[in-house]
Amino acid sequence: MFLCYRYVVGRKAKSSLPTNWPILGMIPALLKNNGRLHDHATDVVEQSGGTFLFKGPWFANMDMMVTADPPNVHYILTENFPNFDKGPEFNEIFDVFGDGIFGAEYESWESQRKVIKALMMQPRFQELVATTNWNKVETV
């Protein structure tokens, strides 16, 4: 087992793509990168061309498609959102999102999106965002 591990680790030394281990899936890569999880996720998505299939443990039903590819995100969020339902597993894993726009299914998401879009189009909101960003840039 140790030799197999060393072979895989040595073979993928320059790759951030996680190994899909039998039984455990890609969970060991998450644990290994626990202190830099966001940076690791960014590395994985960059090396995979923008879209990546995360495989969880075989017994946990945690497989997830992750995308940061702008055309894919645009298609999912504006063209064909009803076909990309999250399902009950998503709500169990990401219950912190609740029923807000990031956790909602199509009908609820659509009404929330309209409200948020109307808010974001308000000149006062846009001015607040611009001022806040400018102040943040000046302090950094």
Q: Are residues 121 and 70 in the same domain?
A: no
Given 77, 103, 118, the domain boundary residue is 77
Average pLDDT, the chain: 83
Residue-wise pLDDT tens digits, 15-45: 678 888 888 888 888 889 888 888 988 888 8
Residues facing residue 65 across a β-bridge: 53
Q: Which residue numbers in the chain have pLDDT < 50? A: none
Q: Are residues 110 and 59 in the same domain?
A: no
Give the residue among 34, 106, 116, 51 at the shortest CA–CA distance from 77. 106
Q: Are residues 67 and 106 in the same domain?
A: no
Q: What is the pTM of this model?
A: 0.56
Q: Are residues 87 and 56 in the same domain?
A: no
Q: Domain count of the chain?
A: 2
In the numeric block, which tokens belong to residue 17?
């793509």
Give the range of the structural domain holding residue 116, as residue numbers without chain letter.
Answer: 80-140
Give Cβ neighbours of residue 115 (< 8 Å, ≥ 6 apart): none
Query: Is residue 19 a contact partner of residue 28, using CB atoms and an 8 Å limit?
Result: yes
Q: Are residues 7 and 64 in the same domain?
A: yes
pLDDT for position 96: 78
